[in-house]
Amino acid sequence: MSTPISPRALELLEDMRDNFEQGLVPLSVYNDPELSEVELDRVFNRNWVFLAHESEIPEPGDYVLRTIGEDPWIVVRDESGTIRVLLDSCRHRGAQVCRADKGNASHFRCPYHGWTYKNSGDLAGVPHRVESYRELDLKQWGLVRAPHVDTHRGLVFACLAADAPELSDYLGGIAWYLDVHLALTEFEVLGDPHRWVVGANWKIGAENFAGDSYHTESVHRSVVEVSLFPSILLKHGVAAQGKRHISGLGGHAANLNHDVGAPEEAQFWGYPSEVTEQFDAEGMDPDQYELAKWSKLSTGTVFPNLSYLCSAFVDAPGRPAGTVLMLRQWQPRGPAAMELWSWILVPKGASDEYKERVARVATASFSPSGNFEEDDTAIWSTIARTAGSRYARSRNLKLNYQMGMPGMAEIERDENWRGPGVALMSDLEDGGQRTVQRRWIEEMLRP
Amino acid sequence: MNDVPLQWEARQHAMDFLHLEADLLDRRRLPEWLELLHADLDYRIPVRTTRERSATTTFSAAAFHMIEDRSTCQARVDRFASEFAWAEDPPSRTRRFVSNVQALYADDARDTIDVRSNLLVFRARGEDAAIHLSGERQDVLSRGPQGWQLRSRTVLLDHTSLPTLNLAIFL
Ligand code: FES
Ligand SMILES: [Fe+2]
């Protein structure tokens, strides 16, 4: 699946690659129409891309309409319980056969001429077939299926490349960090995902969750000021004892804040005992369980555009906290816009009261109206404007991603770290973000 | 309660309330707006999805763009007052258009009004392209010593994916 790329775009990418190890990144990659065309093909249409959580489609026939890059794909559980990912395009003239965001259907019937597909994608019926389509081979004209679909702990992914690595190989070490959350108990999506459109490039979000701890003290200061979040979790420096930035995971990255203390001080991101009682150490190795036990805040990015966040928040000062595990996807919508999709995950066995508290604190912190989120997107949208400037493009203006690099700081590697990847004992460095970028350059330069 | 003069009176109270409220919000007089909120306020903006016509509802029962009470509205207003609340610095320029107001007294003492109205919010922010948010409000107003207050509000947006970088404004 080779895709064309203009000489100008190629030159920009090669220059980025050549200067990359010095921590220099061209500003214009955050708003470039040519690159954003190329990345739909080279990044989104051939890497494993997140689509849904299994709890969104528990029953046969349940479906949700999602996108890979900007293309519409139906994610459906067929009658046999198998999850299928089907291009939402009738094989006859291309009309969309699914017009709802979600629902339950045994068949998808195209409104244009009435071709009917089973929820497995197989073509089941063609009007006037006997009179006019006698030789039509139904088997050849089913909805196009994503060639590779797989799940990891409830997360549904698809890969459109003909030759895809196994999902487990693709995820590699980041699966270990995902499982520190997802293997503790069974999670489900709370309601429906939030969706909103922000005038910023999707990579800004992916990088931010991969390890931009540096922004929190400045951008999120107001939230601490009004006592909606403990300041200790946003402070760097000495207070950053238990902070780790994990890179070396092949394009994925994680950011952890944990604090090993006395046994009765177990943290579990602030989950209340009614939830932690249901946690099961059986599903994970002891090192993962130990990490979960002392964790206060985690974020991470799975290349290309899935991120996660877990921490406890409140929606008003003095209220009991609720712990939010959020899945976040940065969907490209052209070079200077993305659609944010955001799922709140709750432990399936938690009480309805606790789930409602989580809905409240998650909405108040990370959602379109989130007291945290509002400030991030307000800043990100200004990046697209400067990145699209003629000046940035014509001079190949570079941004500084050198934080914590050799010469800038002596950051120790945690030699006792039990998880995969390289664990740096500081959250004041850009390694996670460079990891995402490095993988992005590789994908973009791979014909 | 189909008494026409009473309906007329209820609608007049409702329109006065909604127009005053829109004015305070558009002028960003948020502390004064807070005084219009009942101590037991229940305020929700459910997430909407596109569904087939046969679906019983298109609104989520569990996911919200905002799910608030008096204290969380206070917390938001306090945050906006911080000099580090970048979401509204520079502030949005908003204009709320409230129309199609239908109102009925919900009790014999005429202390509670059920109101339905349409809301169109124009929002311009910095140099960003201006956006519109459109929806229906279902409000309950209740009369107390300080006059009418908002007891509950559900905003039923017409959008599935919100066309806005954030919801740093009240609807
Ligand atoms: S386009 Fe679908 S049946 Fe003709
Ligand atoms: Fe942030």
Dump pLDDT digits (tens) for A399-421: 999 999 999 999 999 999 999 99
Ligand 1 binding pocket mutation candidate from A89, A115, A128 (most atoms within 8 A of CB): A115
Is the CA virtual torsion A369, A374, A377, A378 positive or negative? positive
Per-residue pLDDT band at A46 (split at 50, 70, 90):
very high
- Residue A219 CB contacts under 8 Å (≥ 6 apart), including other chains: A375, A376, A379, B86
The per-residue DSSP string of A350-405 comes to S-HHHHHHHHHHHHHHSSTT-TTHHHHHHHHHHHHHHHT-HHHHHHT-EEE--TT-
- Ordered DSSP codes for A94-152: ---S--SSEEE-SEEE-TTT--EEETTS-EEE-TTHHHH-TT--GGGGSPPBPSEEEEE
Q: Is B99 on the interface with A (CB under 8 A)?
A: no
Q: Evaluate whether residue B140 is within a structural domain.
A: yes
Structure tokens at A208: 């931010």
For residue A76, the CA-to-ligand 1 centroid distance in Å is: 20
Rg (CA), chain A: 23
Ligand nearest to the CA of A377: 2
Q: Do A99 and B52 touch (CB under 8 A)?
A: yes
Interface check B90 vs A, CB under 8 A: no
Please give the angle made by the CA atoms of B130, B135 and B136, to the nearest 5 degrees: 150
Spatial contact of A34 and A387, defined as CB atoms under 8 Å apart:
no
Interatomic CA distance for residues A362 and A356, integer angstroms: 10
B57 touches chain A (CB under 8 A): no
Nearest Cα residue to atom 3 of ligand 1 = A113
**Whole-number Å distance between alpha carbons of A409 and B45:** 47
With pLDDT > 70 as the criterion, what percentage of chain B qualifies?
99
- Ligand 1: which of A99, A110, A132, A136 to mutate, judged by most atoms within 8 Å of the beta carbon? A110
Q: Does the distance separating the beta carbons of A317 and B62 come in below 8 Å?
A: no
CB A381 within 8 Å of CB B87: no
The pLDDT of residue A390 is above 90: yes
Residue B113 is predicted with a pLDDT of 98
pLDDT on residue B1: 54
Task: Specify which residues A163 forms β-bridges with.
Answer: none
* Nearest alpha-carbon partner for A328 in A291, A288, A292, A370: A370
Q: What contacts B4, CB < 8 A, 6 or more positions away?
A: none
Q: Which residue has the tokens 């120790």?
A: A412
Contact of B71 with chain A, judged by CB distance below 8 Å, is answered with yes
Element (H, E) at A216: helix A216-219
Write the CB contacts of A163 (distance below 8 Å, at least 6 apart in sequence): none
Residue B166: list chain A partners with CB under 8 A: 196, 198, 368-370, 373-374, 377-378
Parent domain of B15: 4-157
Cβ A98 under 6 angstroms from ligand 1 = no
pLDDT at position A237 is 60
The two tokens of residue B85 are: 């609340």
Q: What CA–CA distance (Å, rounded) separates A41 from A443?
A: 10
Contact call for B165 and A359, based on CB within 8 A: no
User: What phi, psi does B156 have (nearest 5°)?
Assistant: -100, 95
- The response to whether residue A126 sits with its C-beta less than 6 Å from ligand 1 reads no
> Taking CB atoms and an 8 Å limit, are B65 and A369 in contact across chains?
yes
Place of tokens 């350059």: A441
Please name the amino acid found at residue A185.
T
**Number of structural domains in chain B:** 1
A115 Cβ below 6 A of ligand 1? yes
Distance A58 CA to ligand 1 centre (A): 29
DSSP assignment of A270-285: G--HHHHTT--GGGS-
- pLDDT for residue A1 is more than 90: no
Residue with tokens 């690099």: A405
pTM score above 0.90: yes
Q: Which of B139, B151, B150 is nearest to B100 (CA)?
A: B139
Could you read off the pLDDT of B19-35 as tens digits, one per residue?
A: 999 999 999 999 999 99
The model's confidence at residue A240, banded by pLDDT at 50, 70 and 90, is: low
Query: Which two tokens mark A430?
Result: 């850009």
> Distance from the CA of A96 to the center of ligand 1, in angstroms?
9
Q: Does ligand 1 come within 6 angstroms of the Cβ of A92?
A: yes
User: What is the residue with the minimal CA distance to atom 1 of ligand 1?
Assistant: A93
Predicted confidence at residue A360, as pLDDT, reads: 98
Mean pLDDT throughout A262-283?
Answer: 90
What is the whole-number distance in angstroms between the Cα of residue A152 and the centre of ligand 2?
26
Which is the closest atom of ligand 1 to the Cα of A94? Answer: 1
pLDDT tens sequence across A62-81: 999 999 999 999 999 999 99
- Both tokens assigned to A40: 């739909």
Average pLDDT over every residue of A256-273: 88
What are the tens digits of pLDDT across the range A166-198?
999 999 999 999 999 999 999 999 999 999 999
The reply to whether residue B65 touches residue A194, judged by beta carbons under 8 angstroms, is yes
Nearest to A69, CA basis, from A92, A39, A102, A114: A39
Q: Does pLDDT of B12 surpass 80? A: yes
Residue A316 to residue A325: CA distance in whole angstroms: 19
Pairwise pLDDT comparison (A293 vs A266), residue with the higher score? A293
Query: Which ligand has the shortest distance to the CA of A94?
Result: 1
Q: What is the pLDDT of residues A346-361, one digit of tens each?
A: 999 999 999 999 999 9
Q: What percent of chain A has pLDDT over 90?
A: 94
Per-residue confidence (pLDDT) for residue A235, from 0 to 100: 75
pLDDT at A234: 76
Residue A372: half-sphere exposure toward Cβ, Cα within 13 Å: 22
CA A74/CA A68 separation, integer angstroms: 10
Name every chain A residue with its beta carbon within 8 A of the beta carbon of B86: 219, 222, 375, 378-379
- The answer, yes or no, to whether any atom of ligand 1 lies below 6 A from the CB of A112, is yes
Nearest residue to A204 via CA among A31, A46, A326: A31
Whether residue A259 is predicted with pLDDT greater than 90 in this model: the reply is no
Please state which of the ranges A185-199, A261-275, A304-318 shows the lowest mean pLDDT: A261-275
Band the pLDDT of A262: cuts 50, 70, 90: confident
Q: Tell me if A129 CB under 6 Å of ligand 1.
A: no
**Could you give the count of Cα atoms lying within 13 Å of A19 in the half-sphere of its Cβ?**
17
| B165–A381 CB contact, under 8 Å | yes
Q: What is chain A's mean pLDDT, rounded?
A: 95
Which CATH number is B128's domain given?
Answer: 3.10.450.50
Instruction: Give CA–CA dist A187/A427, Å, rounded.
Output: 28
Whether B55 and A369 lie within 8 Å, measured CB to CB? no
Work out the end-to-end distance of chain A between its first and last CA atoms, rounded to an integer number of angstroms. 8
Number of other CB atoms surrounding residue A225 within 10 Å? 17
CB of A413 shorter than 6 A to ligand 1: no
The torsion angles phi and psi of A416, rounded to 5 degrees, stand at -95, 5
pLDDT in tens, B38-61: 999 999 999 999 999 999 999 999
Q: Give CA separation, A327 vs A89, A302, A343, A380, B59, in Å.
A: 28, 11, 5, 19, 21
Q: Minimal Cα distance from A198: which residue of B? A: B165
Per-residue pLDDT tens digits for A192-225: 999 999 999 999 999 999 999 999 999 999 999 9
CB pairs under 8 A between A and B: 146
Look at residue B166 and tell me if it is in a domain.
no
Q: Does B145 map to a domain?
A: yes
State if residue A113 touches ligand 1 by the CB under 6 angstroms criterion.
yes
User: By percentage, how much of chain A surpasses pLDDT 70?
Assistant: 99
Would B11 be classed as within a structural domain? yes
Helix (H, G, I), strand (E, B) or coil at A50: strand
Q: Is B40 on the interface with A (CB under 8 A)?
A: no
The CB of A108 under 6 Å from ligand 1? The reply is: no
- Please report the residues numbered 100 through 139 in chain B whose beta carbons come closer than 8 angstroms to any beta carbon of chain A: 126-129
Question: Which residues of chain B make contact with A192, given a CB cutoff of 8 A?
Answer: 47, 49, 60, 62-63
Quote the DSSP letter at residue A240. G
**B50–A contact, CB cutoff 8 A:** yes
Q: Which residues of A touch B162 (CB under 8 A)?
A: 195-197, 368
Tell me the pLDDT tens digit for each residue of B95-153: 999 999 999 999 999 999 999 999 999 999 998 899 999 999 999 999 999 899 999 99
Any chain A CB within 8 A of the CB of B44?
Answer: no
- Per-residue three-class SS string for chain B: CCCHHHHHHHHHHHHHHHHHHHHHHHCCCHHHHHCCEEEEEEEEEEEECCCCCCCCCCEEEEEEEEEECHHHHHHHHHHHHCCCCHHHCCCCEEEEEEEEEEEEECCCCCCEEEEEEEEEEEEECCCCCCEEEEEEEEEEEEEECCEEEEEEEEEEECCCCECCCCCCCCC
